[in-house]
Amino acid sequence: MAFDCAVHLMPLIYLILATMVVSLVLMQINQRVASPVLSIVDRWLRWLVFSVGTAQLVREFELIDRPFWALALAFFLLWFLGETLYNWLAITAHSLSPLPLFPRYVVNKSGEEWPVQPRLLKIREWLRAQGFRQTQALKAEIGGGIFLRVSVYQDARATVRLQVTFIPQSNAAISICYGVTSITEDGSRYLTDNLYIPFGGFYPENWFVERAPWRRSLPRLLARHRARLAAAGATAVPNPTDPLADLNTVQHELDQLNTELGFLHPHAERDDLGKFTQEGRYRVWKEIWMLNYLGRSARYE
């Protein structure tokens, strides 16, 4: 009987081992390409390996006399609680740290505005072929001498402004994200991006933001942005504002708005209470979960 039970469990063990191997392979690949999509898949695989694998070990050593599905569900929830605690501590640490939430951008004069990597250089060549021209290269320090580098492009009519952001990773890889912006005749701002950095805050009423971290293709993101404008019947007008001035003005506006609406503490109180209010921490926590596991930005009423 014991032999029959062991034979019955072998496929599950092989499946767990295979999932672990796939997760390790994805992790190695992602150290080079820094893809948020691969990160999402890898997180789910690790979560499943932990819950199913730990349940299998507990049953194998007869530590708990409960059905396998109940054990797997319990460890699934345990992972959720553990990662929730980790994220909450990270949010608190960031709230109390001197790192800026809305860093100030300056002109990048170092000549390193575009990383020299084949997969990234192809994107620049595609932009040129589509009639986009670079208007400015910017950077912003996010702490510890680490910079976000941004290249800003515009189409020939200056009605579509594309912000290409290079995000450094801890393993020296570089992740690339895009933000496409258009200003319409009535002064509304349409923004379509694939940033996977959690925000969780509020946008001005005349902003129409769509965040799609799963959409990593620049041509598809641009097509989606133009489709949104067409669906709304909105007419984009040339953006006369200097990209640097526009970006820093937007940063200041978001900081002020989110302070007024209770997402952030007033500046005078941040040294003692941190940047985020209690509601702000919850919104950031929710945004982290949505982005990390569903690749979607959280929606609020």
The pLDDT tens digits for 107-139 are 998 777 788 888 888 999 999 999 999 999 999
- Which of 100-114, 190-204, 247-261, 282-296 has the weakest average pLDDT? 100-114
- Quick check: 3 pLDDT over 50? no
pLDDT band at 1 (very low <50, low <70, confident <90, very high): very low
Burial category of 173 from C-beta neighbours within 10 Å (exposed 0-12, middle 13-18, buried 19 and up): middle
Pick the closest to residue 264 from 255, 272, 199 (CA basis): 255
Domain ranges of the chain: 2-96, 106-294
Structure tokens, 28:
């190695």
Structure tokens, 68:
């396998």
User: What mean pLDDT comes out for the span 227-247?
Assistant: 93
What are the tens digits of pLDDT across the range 45-74? Answer: 999 999 999 998 888 877 888 888 899 999
- Quick check: 274 pLDDT over 70? yes
- Quick check: 9 pLDDT over 80? no
The pLDDT value given to residue 84: 95
The pLDDT value given to residue 289: 93
Measure CA 3 to chain center. 48
CA–CA separation, 194 and 45 (whole Å): 23
What DSSP string describes 51-76?
A: HHHHHHHHHHTT-S-S-HHHHHHHHH
Q: Which residue has the higher pLDDT, 212 or 178?
A: 178
pLDDT band at 6 (very low <50, low <70, confident <90, very high): very low
For the ranges 22-26, 90-94, 210-214, the maximum mean pLDDT occurs at: 90-94
pLDDT band at 171 (very low <50, low <70, confident <90, very high): low
Angle at 92 between CA 89 and CA 95, to 5 degrees: 150
The pLDDT value given to residue 113: 74
The pLDDT value given to residue 296: 83
pLDDT band at 4 (very low <50, low <70, confident <90, very high): very low
Per the prediction, the chain carries an average pLDDT of: 88
pLDDT band at 301 (very low <50, low <70, confident <90, very high): very low
- Which of 150-159, 168-177, 187-196, 255-264 has the weakest average pLDDT? 168-177
Q: Which residue has the higher pLDDT, 174 or 139?
A: 139
% the chain with pLDDT above 70: 94
Measure CA 301 to chain center. 21
Report the half-sphere exposure of 143 (CA within 13 A, side-chain side). Answer: 7
Provide the 3-class DSSP secondary structure of residue 139: strand
- Which of 37-46, 155-164, 167-176, 224-233 has the weakest average pLDDT? 167-176
Structure tokens, 200:
């969780």
The values of phi and psi at residue 45, to 5°, are -65, -45
Structure tokens, 129:
């072929």
